[in-house]
Amino acid sequence: MAIELNHTIVWSSDKVASAKFLTEIMGLPEATPFYGFMVVELAHGISLDYQTRSGPIAGQHYAFLVTEQEFDEIFGRIQAAGLDYWADPTQRRRGEINHDDGGRGVYFPDPDGHLLEIITRPYGSGV
């Protein structure tokens, strides 16, 4: 059986602004509206469907596997935007990237406090 993730809802205080943040920082096409969501299309038919929610937003973690070139481009946009970033999910190694499994990785926040991550190698892939 091959089960694949198709989409997930990302709660936000402003679905348009949050979707725009993700598409701009990642260099993705603009989000499109669908059934009241702002849909950000990713590879392999997966989408993040942003929805506005009133009240507190519980922060989630979203990790994105990217190429070395994409990492450089995205990391450049993170730095240009003046965003905080960390080498670890506990946010103790501020201003650093990690080199786990022979790749590179970095964590950074979105406008609602979701912790986004870009990595060039899946964890556990080893070198």
Average the pLDDT over 19-23 and give the result: 98
pLDDT tens by residue, 39-90: 999 999 999 999 999 999 999 999 999 999 999 999 999 999 999 999 999 9
Architecture in CATH for domain 1-52: 2-Layer Sandwich (3.30)
C-beta separation of 107 from 83 below 8 A: no
CA angle 23, 26, 32 (to 5 degrees): 20
Domain 59-127 class, CATH top level: alpha beta
Alpha helices in 56-126 (DSSP H): 68-80
Question: pLDDT grade, residue 20 (50/70/90)?
Answer: very high
What does the pLDDT average to over 12-25? 98
59-127: same fold as 1-52?
no
Would you list the domain boundaries of the chain? 1-52, 59-127
User: Percent of the chain scored above 90 by pLDDT?
Assistant: 94
Give the pLDDT of residue 53: 94
